[in-house]
Every structure is written in C-alpha cells, then in structure tokens.
Amino acid sequence: MVRSQPDRGQTAFEYLGIILVVVVIIGAIVGTDIGGDITDKIIEQIDKIKAG
C-alpha cells in the first residue's frame, strides 16, 4: 500500500487567502464611516454597562 504525500503548499495558500480577505474587510471598514459608527456604538454600550 503506497500513500501519496499531501499537498505541502496548499495550506500556506489557504492561509494567505484568508488573510487577504480579512485585510480587505478591515480596509473597507477603515475607509468608510462604518468603522467610526461601530466604535461609537461600542463605546455607547460600554458606558451603559458602567452606568448600570
């Protein structure tokens, strides 16, 4: 019974693809006002928790 070797470079390319998608999403959030809106909502919720 002969086993074939797994694709060695495949995992590296998959991780690179995932990192690329994350960078694009972060870039889109930073490039628009959505990032500021999200930050404002998070700070608002934290203030509610501290006040309660």
What are the pLDDT digits (tens) for 20-51?
999 988 888 777 878 788 888 889 998 888 87
Residue 46 lies in a domain: yes
- What is the residue range of 30's domain? 20-51
DSSP 8-state assignment for residue 2: -
DSSP 21-47: HHHHHHHHHHHSTHHHHHHHHHHHHHH
Q: Which amino acid is at 23?
A: V
pLDDT confidence of residue 5: 63
Q: Quick one: pLDDT at residue 12?
A: 79
Burial (CB count <10 Å: 0-12, 13-18, 19+), residue 29: middle
- More confidently predicted of 1 and 16: 16
* Number of compact structural domains in the chain: 1
Domain for residue 24, yes or no? yes
Summarised one tens digit per residue, pLDDT across range 7-18 is: 666 787 888 889
Residue 13 lies in a domain: no
